[in-house]
Amino acid sequence: MSEVRTATGPGRVNLIGDHTDYNQGLALPLAIGLGVQVEFRPADRDEIEVTSTAFPSGAVIATTIAPDPDAIVASPRPAWSRLVAAMVALARPDSGGTLHIGTTLPVGSGLSSSAALAVALAKVFGVEGPPVVVARLCQEAERLTGVPVGAMDPLVCAGAHRDHALLIDFTTLATEQVPVPAGAGIVVVDSGYRRTLSDSPYALRVAECEAAAARIGPLGTAGPADLAGLRDPLLRRRARHVVTECRRVREVAAALGAGDLVAAGALMGESHASLAEDFESTLPAVDDLVADLVGRPGVYGARMTGAGFGGCVVALTARGAVDPHGLATPAWTVMAVDGTVAARRDGDGARTQ
């Protein structure tokens, strides 16, 4: 009788607070019902055979792989499997076996399919500990693949609560559950423009923020007066986005707590303008999609969500105000769900948590 370990890593939509996580700032994401499902069947061998419904070719990953970024990135295995290899290198599963990956998340849409996969793998590979421990390991795995991500995505994918957004302070990784008002609707719209963080300007933005921080300190804890210390206008714009975005995160959290969807929506609009103008991480098609949504009855605000350069837009609406099936590109009405769910079952289907 063979053991089967399964886990679902939820996707993530960020209500507000993008490009703040790697700057020691604030963000307010939530986990959503779309996600990545993994099924791991341990076997007495020293390699894991990996297949995915999202990609035609499989991969074979040795359980003895070293956590060496050069080796992982340069490997001849399919690029999509590098994150699996990195998780194997860090999590050290107790055996080889077969691993199958399925997803209801559109890959490259900005809904954090990579973090959803990583936290699900952490569960089936036996990683234990609170969400922050899981998130740090998953963050390191993504960095091994050459993507300098922050901790936001894996932390919310691991530690979210149903009907709540997660306010994260990245100076300490302290979190606070913020209730989403019962009358709120959250609609995610795919712009149709795909990107991966590794082939977008994401790493360049990280470097620009690091250059600004070298002059004025961590951007997430800086204030408006600190921006005067940046003579380079480009670095000043990048820093200004982070500084003002952290203020907006606090204000949106307070607005949601007070049930003020109008104020929260207006702040989301300000956030999108900052991402477009100061951070230059949107595209014209994404800007047009935001404008279209904001012009619809019952929509309080909309913005790009995630790292940008394509991907998805999130809209805060009155519940039921927008029919996702009536939009020109794929869209979903989403709800805030719990973080990673894992289970084990015997080969005959008996299930245990």
Give the active site residues.
153
DSSP element (H, E) containing 120: helix 113-124
Max Cα distance, the chain (Å): 67
d(CA 225, CA 249): 19
Task: Please report, for residues 183, 283, 324, the alpha-carbon distance to residue 251 in angstroms, rounded to integers and kept in the order given.
Answer: 19, 26, 28
Residues shown for the chain: 353
Calculate the alpha carbon distances from 129 to 111, 135, 173 in Å.
24, 10, 15
What is the phi/psi pair of residue 342, to 5°? -125, 155
Cβ count within 10 A of residue 320: 10
Instruction: Mention every residue, 6+ apart, whose C-beta is less than 8 A from residue 247.
Output: none
The tokens for 82 are 């590098």
Give the C-alpha separation, 224 to 322, whole Å: 37
Q: Are residues 9 and 233 in contact, defined by beta-carbon separation less than 8 angstroms? A: no
Distance, CA of 350 to CA of 192 (rounded, Å):
40
